[in-house]
Amino acid sequence: MGGTNIAAAVVDPCGSVQSRVSLPTPRGASAQAVASAMSRAALDALNAGGYTLSDIESVGVGSPGTVDPAQGLIRRWYKMGFENVPITALLARTLPKPIFLENDANCAALGEYAAGAGRDVRSLVAITLGTGVGGGAVLDGSIYTGFNHAGMEPGHMAVAHGGRLCACGRRGCLEAYASASALITRAKEVLGLEQADGKTAFLEAEHGNPLAAQVVEEYISYLACGIVNLVNLFQPELVCLGGGVAQQGERLLTPIREILNRENYARGLPQRTRLVQAALGTDAGIIGAALLPFYTKPQ
């Protein structure tokens, strides 16, 4: 479930998508109406693959905002104005199966852990470079969420004390420097463009534009700073980068690895965190949501 679209899929236990649909999220609608659209998307995804409800074991839901999986609540989703929405109970009427709820960034991290870039590791931090900078951690087979289920917000780790104002109200947050939005804003500012997207600065830099190269270098420098911070705290076996900007692949990863090799506090140890591109693209969240039952501790 997202602010723009509701995507639903039938996923097998290995994390392969068997059938899928996507519907627009009803605008300005009640939680009830959004839940109805979600149920319809799920049932349509079953139909699309020739399945019925009896073919599935459980339903996984990935939601933006802060969720409470034990209570089946969306605690806060600012964009939709949701507060303490009992999403699990709303869905249960039309989807009579065990329903598992988790934050969407955590679902994406779990998808990569279970069936993507991290399928051979025991601990992973996943970072998504999109409109914001999202994140999730799977540590020894469990999603790490903190005691109030609001943890792992690497986008709201300040890397520049007193720096750029972030949408969250803090200054200097990683998100204000390393999101796709921040990259686009800087590309427009520095290159004097009316229009730009997340690829513009990288493309122009490759064509020899020194100002664009400077935008890219600045972007990488802040993103690497945040990644080294996460490594020095979590020392996960793997960090994977997803989202639009991560599609730059080695153009992005190689210079970050150089900084990580230099600044990782564990650089003298034989076992060091690896940094790779996420493997599942935009499917990570939907796959992770579906696989939640395998990675959820009994309450």
Residues that bind its own copies (CB under 8 A): 66, 75-76, 121-123, 139, 144-154, 156-161, 163, 168-170, 172, 177, 221-222, 225, 228-230, 232-237, 262-263, 265-266, 268-269, 271-273
Q: Are 273 and 253 in contact (CB under 8 A)?
A: no
Closest CA to 79 of 135, 130, 28, 5: 28
- Taking the complex as a whole, the smallest distance from the CB of residue 106 to its own copies amounts, in Å, to 12
CA separation (Å) from 188 to 59, 192, 196, 215? 42, 5, 6, 10
- Taking the complex as a whole, the smallest distance from the CB of residue 13 to its own copies amounts, in Å, to 26
Nearest CB to its own copies, comparing residues 59 and 216: 216
Nearest CB to its own copies, comparing residues 36 and 229: 229
What does the chain come to in residues?
299
- Taking the complex as a whole, the smallest distance from the CB of residue 115 to its own copies amounts, in Å, to 20
Tokens (6 digits) for 104 = 């969407």
Closest CA to 292 of 114, 145, 117: 114
Find all residues with CB under 8 Å of 81, minimum gap 6, and list them: none
- Taking the complex as a whole, the smallest distance from the CB of residue 176 to its own copies amounts, in Å, to 11
Side-chain half-sphere exposure of 125, counting CA atoms within 13 A: 25
- Taking the complex as a whole, the smallest distance from the CB of residue 143 to its own copies amounts, in Å, to 13
Nearest CB to its own copies, comparing residues 38 and 105: 105
Nearest CB to its own copies, comparing residues 115 and 159: 159
Nearest CB to its own copies, comparing residues 41 and 127: 127
